[in-house]
Structure formats: structure tokens, C-alpha cells
């Protein structure tokens, strides 16, 4: 059984823990560097990206997380987690002090759809994950405004905005898959983790 951590400093972490357990993962909450020991993968959840980034720095989590990524362990950032994984953010007055891990060769635009009142749901076509549309929830979500040559686009909105990407063992989604009852993205991510850890697949 893969052991997957969920960064639990702020934001929608318990929902990820629940989804991971539903699909058969051993999910643990991560707050300190020692909590990363023995993990096969890590999810950085949605929340307030500046706050999460500052807390990661405060608790000295940045370098251990970067080392996990360098070791090839799958790291998945959702919403705020996408921002934190990015190499850069589109510059605005609020983004100047945004902490970043800088692990993915992408640029993101924060709050690309407006305030929380502008939250919405969308069914996304994601061929690498499922032949059928996947329900998703966008809450003060970012979008990817630039991708590097090694970045694969996993999903776009109908207007072409990029909302899900992959770069090797790194995955970033602008939406909150943990807030729907659909398990496909968490199941797909668990397959990535198993493949990275060379664990045999189990019957779903």
C-alpha cells in the first residue's frame, strides 16, 4: 500500500486525506520535515498560497519537498498547490511576495477567475486519466499562462485556459478534485505513486 502525505498546514487537506483512503492509500498528514520520512508521494492542497508558502518556509519544509521531487517521487499540487509548484507567477501587486517552490517549468496567474463568488464547476476531458469527463470545482483558481517544453497539458477549459499539467513526476491542477465524489484523479495519482515506488498494482 503506498504511503502518501498531504501537506496539512492550511487549506483543504482533510478532504484529500479522505479521498486517498477511499482509493486504498495510506494517507498521512504532513506538518514537519520528519513527517515526510518514508512517503511515496505528496499532495500540496488548495488554500491560501501565500500562507501555505510562508508556513512551509517557517517549518523548514521547502528543501525536503524539493528533495522528494528530485528523488522522483510524485508531487501533486491542487489550486494553491499549483501556484507553489510553479517556477513563477504573473506579476501583480499581490504576487510579489508569493513564496514558490519553483519545481515546475510553468507560469501561473493567481485568482484568474475572480473572487470566491465567481467559483464554478466544470466537466473536464482528461484523456490521460479517463475517457469520460471528470467533474471539477474551481474556487479562486489559478490558470497556467506559460508552459515549458517538458510540460504536458492534461486539461484545458473550453476557452483554452490550461488548468492541469504534468512534468515528469510533478502534477498540478488548478481545481479541487477532492471536493467532488469522483475518485478518478486520486486513483490515477496513486497509480503514478505505485509506479514510482515500483509497487504492484492492486485490483480497483
Catalytic residues: 79, 176, 178
Q: Where does residue 99 fall: left (phi above 0), alpha (psi -120 to 50 degrees), or beta otherwise?
A: beta
How many other CB atoms sit within 10 Å of the CB of residue 96? 8
Total H helices, total E strands in the chain: 5, 12
Residue found under cell 507567477:
89
Three-state DSSP at 84 gives helix
Strand ranges for 8-64 from DSSP E? 26-30, 41-44
Q: Strands 3-7 and 170-173, how do they pair?
A: unpaired
| C-beta of residue 104 within 8 angstroms of C-beta of residue 165 | yes
Amino acid at each position: 500500500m503506498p504511503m502518501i502525505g498531504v501537506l496539512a498546514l492550511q487549506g483543504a487537506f482533510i478532504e484529500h486525506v479522505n479521498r486517498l483512503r477511499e482509493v486504498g492509500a495510506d494517507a498521512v498528514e504532513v506538518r514537519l520535515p520528519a513527517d515526510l520520512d518514508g512517503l511515496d508521494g505528496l499532495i500540496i492542497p488548495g488554500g491560501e498560497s501565500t500562507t501555505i508558502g510562508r508556513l512551509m518556509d517557517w517549518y523548514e519544509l521547502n528543501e525536503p519537498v524539493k528533495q522528494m521531487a528530485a528523488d522522483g517521487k510524485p508531487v501533486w499540487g491542487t489550486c494553491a498547490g499549483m501556484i507553489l509548484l510553479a517556477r513563477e507567477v504573473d506579476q501583480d501587486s499581490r504576487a510579489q511576495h508569493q513564496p514558490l517552490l519553483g519545481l515546475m517549468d510553468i507560469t501561473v496567474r493567481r485568482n484568474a477567475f475572480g473572487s470566491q463568488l465567481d467559483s464554478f464547476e466544470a466537466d473536464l476531458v482528461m484523456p490521460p486519466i479517463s475517457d469520460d469527463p471528470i467533474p471539477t470545482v474551481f474556487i479562486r483558481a489559478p490558470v497556467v499562462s506559460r508552459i515549458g517544453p517538458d510540460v504536458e497539458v492534461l486539461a484545458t477549459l473550453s476557452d483554452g485556459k490550461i488548468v492541469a499539467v504534468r512534468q515528469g513526476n510533478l502534477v498540478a491542477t488548478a481545481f479541487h478534485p477532492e471536493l467532488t465524489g469522483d475518485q478518478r484523479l486520486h486513483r490515477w495519482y496513486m497509480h503514478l505513486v505505485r509506479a514510482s515506488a515500483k509497487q504492484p498494482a492492486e485490483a480497483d
